[in-house]
């Protein structure tokens, strides 16, 4: 564990920032706090010895290190001023890496098995957690999902031993931008699509942030079907790829309806991990997620049988391609977490005939490639949200014969307090378009905050509206 860090300015007091401040205070570091507003947690941290500065645009002269929130863009005046002063700026994951507690008897700290990508990170990391635990490891999911890393790496049991011996880590591009020394035991890039360019400044910068995770990892895992992810992995000293087809040596893939490992198996033909039918999560994208989780677990020493048990027992997360009900022969699936076109496309590819519920805040994303690709699957479309007309124009170009209904919502750019009633109208419209055998799929390809509090509220409203159908 690192020695005293001196005076640390924690910029942004969300979950990760507050956790960083608590750990730094417990270590005896001097902690300064800043944010755009004064959150409730400030009182607790000040009582523990921190100093609240209020909003500031330049670091105080005595600051040695800045720990920034992943939500703060690099062009924030405070972070620009810190860079001009030559101050190091890190994110909470980088801080956690530097503060890792040694293992039993002073051995190596718990290894990280890390995942990034535009979509699928949370599902893959929680799958990985389940598989590591099935293999007998005291594992936990942390980072951009679950607990803050800085808490996990410093956690101790009553006997003083570290609480975990393996950590499944989700890292976003924002977090990776502020990281420099993280060296996971294995790292994976699931996919890289056009997203968060406004934050990073360009797609190349976004791609570079994702690829940063692989630089210091002994093993790099990527999806052979994603051109950017596969290119990032290709130049690595130990590349492993996953495929939905028959795996070659150095790959994990699918053979005769089962997941097979030909990357870490001692036998040339590979080892069977689990039958596809045993997985409780649907769709080709979730098969890729399972293969990546399996690859990382194999690096951790988990045997094939335990990998299979862990994957078969995994039920998936809320609002991620979850069947919430079936009414009159129509399935209703909540994938509210599909907040961009890439994620929505992966979800839509899971079903042969779909009534698609789409729309919200597109954040400048181009939906034409998505609509053109999924048009043959569409039995109907229900549009909502502020940017619904952009989707309507794309549907008119690429799926002109597909019936669609528009539900006015999100026009004023503010959160609509009765998003639940909007969703009831949306679901009623979808029912009118659906026929037995269809799937009504909430995969909006857009953010939710024009009509709902967040994607979880949107998903709950959808599930409630489906249950109300009887």
Annotated binding site: 117-123
CA 196 to CA 204: how far, in whole Å? 11
C-alpha–C-alpha distance, residues 334 and 326, integer Å:
12
* Distance, CA of 470 to CA of 465 (rounded, Å): 10
Q: Which amino acids are annotated as binding site for ATP, given as ranges?
A: 117-123
51 φ, ψ (degrees, to nearest 5): -120, 125
Query: How many C-beta atoms surround the C-beta of residue 88 within 10 A?
Result: 13
Measured distance between the N- and C-terminal CA atoms of the chain, rounded to whole angstroms: 57
Residue bearing tokens 């936990």: 140
- Whether the CB-CB separation of 451 and 363 falls below 8 Å is answered with no
DSSP per-residue letters across 128-177: HHHHHHHTT--EEEEESSSB-HHHHHH-B-TTSSBS-SEEEEE--HHHHH
Non-local (6+) Cβ contacts of 423 within 8 A are 458, 461, 462, 464, 465
Q: Residue 389 contacts by C-beta under 8 Å, 6 or more apart in sequence? A: none
User: Distance between CA atoms of 268 and 142, rounded to whole angstroms?
Assistant: 35
- Name the helix (H) or strand (E) containing 67: strand 65-68
Q: Are 345 and 441 in contact (CB under 8 A)?
A: no
Q: What is the dihedral of CA 63, 67, 70, 74, to 10 degrees?
A: 30
Handedness of CA 336, 134, 112, 96 (dihedral sign): positive
Query: In which residue are the tokens 């019936």 written?
Result: 403
Strands 239-242 and 220-223: parallel
CA distances in angstroms from 52 to 21, 227, 274, listed in the order given: 11, 46, 53
Which residue do the tokens 């909003």 mark? 55
Quote the CA–CA distance of 37 and 146 in Å, as a whole number.
25
CA distance 7 to 63: 5
Across the chain, which distance is largest between two alpha carbons, in Å? 68
On whether the CB atoms of residues 25 and 4 are closer than 8 A, the answer is no
């Amino acid at each position: 564990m690192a020695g005293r860090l001196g005076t640390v300015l924690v910029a942004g007091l969300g979950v990760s920032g507050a956790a960083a401040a608590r750990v730094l205070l417990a270590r005896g570091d001097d902690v300064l706090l800043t944010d755009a507003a004064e959150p409730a947690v400030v009182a607790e941290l000040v009582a523990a010895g921190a100093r609240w500065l209020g909003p500031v645009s330049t670091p105080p002269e005595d600051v040695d290190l800045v720990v920034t929130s992943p939500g703060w863009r690099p062009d924030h005046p405070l972070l620009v001023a810190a860079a001009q002063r030559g101050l190091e700026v890190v994110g909470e994951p980088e801080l956690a890496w530097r503060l890792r507690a040694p293992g039993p008897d002073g051995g190596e700290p718990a290894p990280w098995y890390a995942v990034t990508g535009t979509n699928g990170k949370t599902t893959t990391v929680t799958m990985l957690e389940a598989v590591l635990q099935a293999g007998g490891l005291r594992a936990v999911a942390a980072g951009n999902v679950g607990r803050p890393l800085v808490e996990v790496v410093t956690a101790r049991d009553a006997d003083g031993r570290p609480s975990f011996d393996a950590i499944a880590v989700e890292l976003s591009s924002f977090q990776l931008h502020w990281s420099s020394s993280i060296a996971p035991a294995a790292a994976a890039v699931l996919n890289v699509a056009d997203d968060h360019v406004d934050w990073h400044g360009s797609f190349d910068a976004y791609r570079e942030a994702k690829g940063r995770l692989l630089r210091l990892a002994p093993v790099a895992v990527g999806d052979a079907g994603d051109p950017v992810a596969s290119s990032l992995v290709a130049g690595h000293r130990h590349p492993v790829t996953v495929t939905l087809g028959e795996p070659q040596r150095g790959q994990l893939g699918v053979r005769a309806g089962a997941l097979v490992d030909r990357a870490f198996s001692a036998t040339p033909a590979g080892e069977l991990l689990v039958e596809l039918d045993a997985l409780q999560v649907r769709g080709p994208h979730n098969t890729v997620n399972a293969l990546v989780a399996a690859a990382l677990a194999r690096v951790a020493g988990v045997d094939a049988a335990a990998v299979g048990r862990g994957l078969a027992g995994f039920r998936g997360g809320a609002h991620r391609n979850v069947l919430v009900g079936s009414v009159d022969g129509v399935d209703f699936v909540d994938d509210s977490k599909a907040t961009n076109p890439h994620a929505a496309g992966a979800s839509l590819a899971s079903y042969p005939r779909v009534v698609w519920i789409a729309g919200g805040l597109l954040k400048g994303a181009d939906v034409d490639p998505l609509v053109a690709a999924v048009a043959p699957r569409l039995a109907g479309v229900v549009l909502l949200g502020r940017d619904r007309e952009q989707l309507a124009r794309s549907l008119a170009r690429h799926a002109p014969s597909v019936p669609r209904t528009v539900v006015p919502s999100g026009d004023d750019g503010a959160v609509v307090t009765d998003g639940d009633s909007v969703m009831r109208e949306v679901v009623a419209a979808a029912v009118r378009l659906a026929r037995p055998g269809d799937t009504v799929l909430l995969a909006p390809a857009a953010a939710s905050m024009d009509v709902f509090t967040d994607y979880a509220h949107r998903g709950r409203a959808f599930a409630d509206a489906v249950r109300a159908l009887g």
